[in-house]
Amino acid sequence: MLLTVTLTSPISLQKINSEVSEYMKIWPRVLSIACALLLSAVPVARAAELELFGKLALSGGAEKEQGGTGGPRGTIEALGVVPLWGNLGIQGVAHYVGGAGSRYGVSAGPVYAWGGGKAGIFVNYQHRTFLSNNFVHVIPALALYFNQMNLNLWYAQPVSSPQRDGNGRVEYGQNKLQATVSYFAGSDWASFLKKDNVEVVFGMQANTFAGAGRAQLKSAGVGPVLGLAFMPVKDVAVNVFHVTFDNRSAYRVTSGLEFFFSGNNATLKQTRRKYLEPNVWVPPAAGRVGPSPSNSTCQRNCTFVE
């Protein structure tokens, strides 16, 4: 008996990237449908109207961006919400990230609140000291509030052009789509881990699937988002960890403290509902590409996408 085996040719890298890109295009539709189903199926918690609110966050950790090198980072972030009239207000964030490739920037935009959530759109400016580049992102965001959890959705789209240094090195602002759930403990876990004062964060993020630089950075990144925080005393939260990483070896890991200025001794769950994400997940990332190592114009600080 003759056995015939037919071997198919391996799928090309271009085809894989094309399929990944097509998959990424349906993410917004899938998330919209999921939000609609959740909103119709789960009782929505009531949240207070917009009120004057402030936050100062200090954190440290490590980070690696596409085409960059990993290393320690320290972050200072200040956030404020100012009500204008009714449920409409303005939210602003200023941040500084120290370490290799330090950067600083501001983000601001309108926020609208209703009984079951908040929505807003922000313009984020960022200056990056590596190559002295400047990036602008537009970030629409949505939060839906349920009994013991918040559903946070946001998307960062770069609108600035690629930044070049004249030696063949290019840095691109990356787009990013993130969906997370913040679950708050429904009972006391310990003497310092009280009901509504413990937050567990889990979700997914995808980046570099649209916009300038997508082809040059080769492929999209997809990975989980995880976090744990608790409020041991009023108006102070301990971020035990915030972690995100993707299949392109990019990552960000931070721990730190948050100080809230709201004046009403709210729980951590109530405090998280006074403003709109993203906050600790900003600033948006960037990806770098450079000339080939044989190019004599490439200096020691060139970085390359693998």
pLDDT in tens, 21-44: 554 555 555 455 544 544 444 445
Average pLDDT, the chain: 80
> Given this model, what pLDDT does residue 179 score?
96
pLDDT tier, 168 (very low <50, low <70, confident <90, very high otherwise): low
- Asked if residue 165 has pLDDT above 50, the reply is yes
- Does residue 111 form part of some domain? yes
CATH assignment at residue 21: 2.40.160.160
pLDDT tier, 278 (very low <50, low <70, confident <90, very high otherwise): confident
> Given this model, what pLDDT does residue 194 score?
94
- Cα of first residue to Cα of last residue in the chain, in angstroms, is 48
> Given this model, what pLDDT does residue 197 score?
97
Find out whether 244 and 224 touch, Cβ atoms under 8 Å. Answer: yes
Domain range holding 133?
14-286
- Does residue 177 form part of some domain? yes
- Does residue 8 form part of some domain? no
- Asked if residue 306 has pLDDT above 50, the reply is no
pLDDT tens per residue, range 208-230 = 887 666 666 667 889 999 999 99
- Does residue 297 form part of some domain? no
- Is the pLDDT higher at 34 or at 77? 77
Q: Which position has the token pair 């002295």?
A: 132
- Does residue 3 form part of some domain? no
Contacts of 111 (CB under 8 A, 6+ apart): 50, 81, 88, 89, 90, 91, 118, 119, 120, 275, 276
> Given this model, what pLDDT does residue 20 score?
44
> Given this model, what pLDDT does residue 68 score?
73
In angstroms, rounded to a whole number, what is the distance separating the alpha carbons of residues 230 and 238?
A: 5
**Number of independent structural domains in the chain:** 1
- Does residue 9 form part of some domain? no
- Does residue 208 form part of some domain? yes
pLDDT tier, 265 (very low <50, low <70, confident <90, very high otherwise): confident
Amino acid at 52: L
- Is the pLDDT higher at 135 or at 293? 135
- Does residue 128 form part of some domain? yes
Is the bond leading into 43 cis (omega within 30 degrees of zero)?
no
The closest of 212, 205, 220 to 281, measured between CA atoms, is: 205
CA 96 to the chain's CA centroid: 15
- Asked if residue 116 has pLDDT above 60, the reply is yes
- Is the pLDDT higher at 305 or at 276? 276
In angstroms, rounded to a whole number, what is the distance separating the alpha carbons of residues 1 and 216?
A: 51
Q: Which position has the token pair 């299949």?
A: 247
